[in-house]
Amino acid sequence: MRKYIISALMAVTGIAAIAQEQSTSSAVLTRGPRTRPGQAEASQAPGVSARMRSQAADAGERPDASLKYMRVIYRELDLVEEDANAPLYYPEDLVDGNENLFRIMFRLLARNQVPAYEYLDGREDFSEANRAKMSDIISRFEILATPAKGFSEKNPVYDIEPVDVPTNEVLAYFIIERWKFDNRTNKMRTEVEAICPVVVRDDASSLSGKTPMFWMKMSDLKPYLQAQYIFTDDDNNLASHTYDDFFTLNMYKGDIYKTRNLRNRTLSQMAKEDPDTLKALQDSIQRRLDHYADNLWVPSREELAKAREAADAEADSIAALKPEPVRSKRARSSRSSTRSSARPAARATKGPKKEKAKPATSSSSATRSVRNRRK
C-alpha cells in the first residue's frame, strides 16, 4: 500500500512540473521583444519588418572586388524648377496617410529609427563619430520639438507636430551617386548612396540661401521607402511606384555640382564661376558616364558601316538644308562682262598667230635709228 501511495505522489509531482514548464514556455513564446519608445510603431509599420531592414543593409554593402570602374557624383535635385522631382515634394501635408520624402526622413530621425550624419562638404564619413544629433538639428533650424516619453541621452526621442516640420522650406536635395561598371555583367549601374535635404530661405537670417541639413544613407531608408507609394505621372492617377523605385530607376533629374576629387573642389570652382564653362563641364562628365561602356568594345564591321551611312546621311541632309548663296547684281554683271571680254580673246587664240611684215631695212640702220630715238 505504501508503494502505491509513493508512486501516486511521484506521478502528481511530475504532472505539476510538466504543467509549470508548459506555462513557462507558453509565457516565453507569447512575450514580445522589448522595444524602446518610438520603435514599436516602426515594427508595426506596413510593409517594414526587421528582416527587410537587414536585407536592405546587406544589399547596400556590396563588395567592390568585381568592379572595373567607379566614380562618385554629387547631384542637386531641384524641387521647384524641375517637374520630374515633384513626387519628392508633394503632398506638402499629410493626405490619406501619404507623406512626402522629407516628412518620412524627419519622422524617422525624430523617433531615433534611422541615423543621420553631419554634412562635411565633400568629406562625408558615415561613421558613428560623425553621427548628427537631433538636438543640434532642432536648435540650428529653429524647429519646435519636445522630448517624448522615455527620452534619454542614449535614446533621444522627440515629439514634433506635423505643422512644425519645415517641409515647405526643403526645396532641394543633394544626392551622392556611385557609377559602377561590373565585370560580371559588363554593364554600368548607378546607385544612390546617400541623400541630404537642403533648406532654402530668402530671409535675412543666418540660414539665408541653401543650407544642407544632414545626410542619410539610402540603405537605411530603403525599407521605409519601399512601403510608401507615390504618384509619378499626372496622366496616371494610380500610385504604381514607391520612393525606392523612384531612386532605383533614376526617375529623378538633377545637375552635377561636384565629383569626388583630391582637391575637393566643386565644378563652380573649376569653372571659375562662368556659367558656360560650368555647363560644358557638366555635359562632358555626363557624356563620359553614359558612354563609358560603349568605349570599351571594338566596333564590328557592321557597326562601322552603319555609323558611316548615318554620317553620310547626316551630311547630305545638312547640305540639302543649306541655302544657295545669293549673288548681288553687281557681282553678276561683273561676271558677265568678264565672260564677254574673255570670249574674243579665246577666239583670237584659236587661229595661228600672224606675224607683222617688217620693213626691208638693214640691221645696222635699224639699230642706229633705235639708238638715235633713245637719245
Nearest to 141 by CA among 209, 216, 206: 206
pLDDT of residue 333: 58
Q: Say what the alpha-carbon torsion angle 117, 122, 123, 127 is, to the nearest 10 degrees.
A: 20
Instruction: Cell numbers for 26, please give them.
Output: 507558453
Mean residue pLDDT of the chain comes to 79
Cβ atoms of 60 and 219 closer than 8 Å:
yes
Cell 565672260, residue located? 339
Question: For residues 248 and 61, is the Cβ–Cβ distance under 8 A?
Answer: no
The distance of Cα 128 from the centroid of its chain, to the nearest Å, equals 26
Task: Choose among 111, 114, 92, 95: nearest CA to 103.
Answer: 92
**Ordered alpha helix ranges (H), 217-328:** 218-225, 243-248, 267-270, 275-290, 301-321
pLDDT digits (tens, 9 = 90+) for 276-331: 999 999 999 999 998 887 777 777 888 889 989 999 998 888 888 777 666 655 55
Count other Cβ atoms within 10 Å, centred on residue 168. Answer: 11
Domain ranges of the chain: 42-296
Question: 42: part of which helix (H) or strand (E)?
Answer: helix 40-43
Give the three cell numbers for residue 64: 567592390
Residue 364 has pLDDT above 50, yes or no: no
Overall average pLDDT of the 25-47 stretch:
41
Cross-strand partners of 242: 229
Q: What percent of the chain has pLDDT over 90?
A: 47
Is pLDDT at 184 greater than 90 in this prediction?
no
pLDDT confidence band for 369 (50 / 70 / 90): very low
State the angle between helix axes of 218-225 and 50-60 in degrees (0 to 180), rounded to the nearest 10: 140
pTM score over 0.85: no
pLDDT confidence tier of residue 34, bands split at 50, 70 and 90: very low
pLDDT of residue 4: 54
Cβ-based neighbours of 151, under 8 Å, separated by 6 or more: 37, 157, 158
Parallel/antiparallel/unpaired status of strands 216-217 and 229-230: unpaired
User: Regarding beta strands 146-147 and 229-230, do their DSSP bridges make them parallel or antiparallel, or are they unpaired?
Assistant: unpaired
pLDDT for residue 215 = 97
